[in-house]
Structures are given as structure tokens and as C-alpha cells.
Chains A and B, each alone.
Chain A
Amino acid sequence: MYKVNPEHAGKVEFDFGSDVGTRKLTQGLPQELLKRVHELPGGSYYVTYEPPKKNEVQP
């Protein structure tokens, strides 16, 4: 699961192109968009990835 670093939540925006537009970084963003932030060069500064724990149901 991709988790927003609380230090940056609401304090930075990301533009995902014309289909999605500009979105403020919050944990409420779809996991797909958080994944895109995480995969940016240096993206783990804003969004971290935690592998699913055993028997955990993904949202």
C-alpha cells in the first residue's frame, strides 16, 4: 500500500497530465496516483510503499 508522508500531506501538488489534472497530495488520492508519485525520481520522499502484510485485505 502506498502511504503519503504525513509531513507533506496537503503541502505539495502533483500534475498528472490532462486526463487527471493537478491534485493536492493526500492519502485520499487513488493508490494508482500515489504509485505514480512514488515512482518519480525521488518520489519516496513524498509517498512510501509498504508491502501488504499477510492476510491483509487491500483497499
Chain B
Amino acid sequence: MKNFIKNFSILAFVLLAMAAGVEAAGSIAGFVAGSVAYAGLQYAGVVELPFGAAYVNLKIGNVKRQNRQLDNQGGFTKMAIILPESFATHWPLSSHLGASGVEVTTPPTITVGEKFGNVVFDLDAGMLKSSRKGDIDSSNHSHEGSFSVSGVTVEQLTELEKTKGGCLLVGWDSDGRRWLAGSTKRPLSLEYDVDFGDKPDSKRKITAKFKRDGFKFPLLSLGEAVTLTLETLTELD
């Protein structure tokens, strides 16, 4: 009954505005007055819309391709890995993103002494990507990627075994920009194959794959102001 009275009142208000518009300046003015009255009710919050007034400032800009005269090389040159347990506070949160919503502008608060470990993968053997999917009212992003490291050593396995509780990865692309996969709230699940091959000319290697769904954002760019603490590479570069 309450809803009926509310809807009836809204209809009556709009019809009255239309009638007043027709009376004052003709039929077209009637439609204009009705539209203005309805928009006023929306703005006042009487008529509900998803996200309400957020639509007022939501405008899309140009989505441009890369200039053909510029390099557009893919792939990653290196990656760094860290466990969610190494963070003192959750990262990244919405408040750590810049106005764009896809760039992290606040560095992580890592427990004193903890660092990102380098993943020195084989040539052209590191990949990161994200995909947006789902319905319009429940879309989300998945983060995924892979890398392979040659040789099977106890040191490699020791480090990878520490990721049972999930991990976060940062990849450096061909332009040196850094992209974050995973978050402390939704760490990536990492699976890996240990492959010794079947004959002497087979390559021994560990191939790791990592993935997680349900992120609010794609791979996040780490802004220039974000400084990362890394383990030192003593032998490999």
C-alpha cells in the first residue's frame, strides 16, 4: 500500500508538471516539464536509480590505440614475488589507487626486513594477463600468468613451496612499467610442474602457473612514486 501511494504520488506529480507545462507553453513544453520534474525527483532521491547521482559525473573518454610509430612490444623482463604474510597492512586497497582507479599510488607497508623475491625466469618465459568477465551487474577481473625457470634445484623448490597460502606477483613489462597481479586480500594460487624430461637432451625446468578470479580491478599499474624493496641478485641478472 505504501509503495502504491508513493508511485501514485510520483505519477501525479509528473502529470501535474506536464499539465502546467501544456497550460503555460503548449504540448512540447508539457513533455519538457514532465522530464524536468522526473529528473528532479531522481536527484532528490525520491525515484531511485542504481548508483544515483554517480551517473552525473560518469563520462567515457577516448580509448585510443598505440601510435604506429611507437614500439608496442609485449612480454615481461622480470617478475618479483611476495607472500601476503609479509605485509603489515592490506595492499592494495581502493584508497591506495589514484584517481584513475587502475594505478597504485601508495607503496605497500611491508613488515620490516621483508622483501620481494626476484623470479629470474627463462628468456621470454614470463607472462601476466587479466580478463574482465561476467554480467553487467557482477563483472569482475581474473588475474593470471605463468613463468618457467630452468634447472630443478632444492633452492627453487624451497621458495616455491612457501607459496601454499598464495602470493602476489609484480611483472616488469618491456617498457619497464610494473604491473601487479593479486592482492593481499585475494592472493594468487600458484601451481607448478617439476619436469626432469625423459632423456639427456630434455630440458629440466619448473613451470609455474598462477591465477585468481574475483578482483574489482584489472592488473594494476604501479605508479612511478611506488618504490619496491627487492632481494639482491648475487649471481644472475
Cross-interface CB contact of A40 among B80, B107, B222, B231, cutoff 8 Å: B107
Question: Of A11, A15, A41, which is in contact with the most chain B CB atoms at under 10 Å from its CB?
Answer: A15
In the complex, whether B156 has a CB less than 8 A from a CB of chain A is no
Within the assembled complex, what's the spacing in Å between the Cα atoms of A40 and B229? 9
In the complex, whether B110 has a CB less than 8 A from a CB of chain A is yes
Give the Cβ gap from B236 to chain A, nearest Cβ, in Å: 13
Q: Interface size of A by Cβ–Cβ distance < 8 Å? A: 20
Give the Cβ gap from B98 to chain A, nearest Cβ, in Å: 14
Give the Cβ gap from B153 to chain A, nearest Cβ, in Å: 22
A18 and B232 contacting across the interface, CB-CB below 8 Å: no
Question: Of B108, B224, B225, B230, which is in contact with the most chain A CB atoms at under 10 Å from its CB?
Answer: B230
B230 and A17 contacting across the interface, CB-CB below 8 Å: no
A41 and B110 contacting across the interface, CB-CB below 8 Å: yes
Within the assembled complex, what's the spacing in Å between the Cα atoms of A24 and B229? 10
B109 and A42 contacting across the interface, CB-CB below 8 Å: yes
Give the Cβ gap from B227 to chain A, nearest Cβ, in Å: 5
Nearest chain B residue, comparing its CB with the CB of A24 = B232
Q: Contact mask B90-117 → A, CB, 8 Å, 1/0? A: 0000000000000000011111110100
Within the assembled complex, what's the spacing in Å between the Cα atoms of A42 and B230? 14
A13 and B175 contacting across the interface, CB-CB below 8 Å: no
Give the Cβ gap from A13 to chain B, nearest Cβ, in Å: 4
Q: Which residues of B contact A18 (CB under 8 A)?
A: 175-178, 224
In the complex, whether B88 has a CB less than 8 A from a CB of chain A is yes
Give the Cβ gap from B3 to chain A, nearest Cβ, in Å: 51
In the complex, whether B223 has a CB less than 8 A from a CB of chain A is yes
A16 and B227 contacting across the interface, CB-CB below 8 Å: yes
Q: Which residues of A contact B231 (CB under 8 A)?
A: 12-13
Give the Cβ gap from B109 to chain A, nearest Cβ, in Å: 4
- Tell me the A22-58 residues at the B interface (CB within 8 Å): 22, 24, 36-37, 40-42, 45-46
A residues sitting closer than 8 Å to B (CB atoms) are 10-19, 21-22, 24, 36-37, 40-42, 45-46
- Interchain Cβ contacts under 8 Å between A and B, 11 examples: A12-B115, A12-B229, A13-B230, A14-B229, A15-B228, A17-B223, A18-B177, A24-B232, A42-B109, A42-B110, A46-B229
7 closest pairs, A vs B, by CB?
Answer: A18-B176, A17-B224, A41-B109, A13-B230, A15-B228, A42-B112, A45-B112
Since A13-B232, A15-B230 are in contact, a sample of 12 more A-B pairs with Cβ atoms closer than 8 Å, ordered by chain A residue number, is A12-B115, A13-B233, A14-B227, A14-B229, A17-B176, A17-B178, A17-B222, A17-B223, A21-B176, A40-B107, A42-B88, A42-B112
